Amino acid sequence: MMMIELPRPLADDLVRHAREAQPDEVCGVLGLRAERVVRLERARNAAATPTVRFTFDDDGYRRVMQLEREGLEIGIYHSHPASAPYPSATDRAEMSATWPDCLQLMISLRHDATTGPEVKAYRIDRNGVVSVEDLALVDG
Ligand SMILES: [Zn+2]
């Protein structure tokens, strides 16, 4: 199984973004090279109900295209301010249709005040089947 590497500075940026927007969910684009996250681009959450779902605006999609042009594999991240770092039924439905097999990072703040944030990685295929990816925090 592949191990996804997430450099600590980028993990810190993900958590900072998630905390800033509470109680709303945040979202953004990841650029990967050789199973390592090398770029993180914040996107605006344009969902009508941002506490429970996320949607990119046009600028978010432009960031996806920009990273694709740079030759990077695309990943998506979003936060769950109050629920587990696991794909919701909405996530499974939307990701399987829009971003099948794409790396998904999910940041949960449900226990942030006690044990800290949780970050997990998944892929969701066209049928909505979730697979867990190993995620390693790495220096630099
Ligand atoms: Zn979600």
Query: What percentage of the chain reaches a pLDDT higher than 70?
Result: 99
H or E stretch at 138: strand 130-138
Ligand 1 centroid to Cα of residue 23, in Å, is 13
pLDDT tens sequence across 90-119: 999 999 999 999 999 999 999 999 999 999
**Residue 15: which domain range?**
3-138
Ligand 1 centroid to Cα of residue 77, in Å, is 9
Q: What pLDDT score does 106 carry? A: 98
- Read off the pTM: 0.95
Q: What pLDDT score does 16 carry? A: 98
Q: Is the peptide bond before 50 cis (omega within 30 degrees of 0)?
A: no
The domain tally of the chain equals 1
Compute CA distances 93 → 28, 35, 44, 72, whole Å: 18, 25, 21, 25
User: CATH number for the domain including 131?
Assistant: 3.40.140.10
Residue 140 scores a pLDDT above 80: no
pLDDT tens sequence across 44-53: 999 999 999 9
Round the average pLDDT of the chain to a whole number and report it: 96
CA 11 to chain centroid: 11
Ligand 1 centroid to Cα of residue 103, in Å, is 13
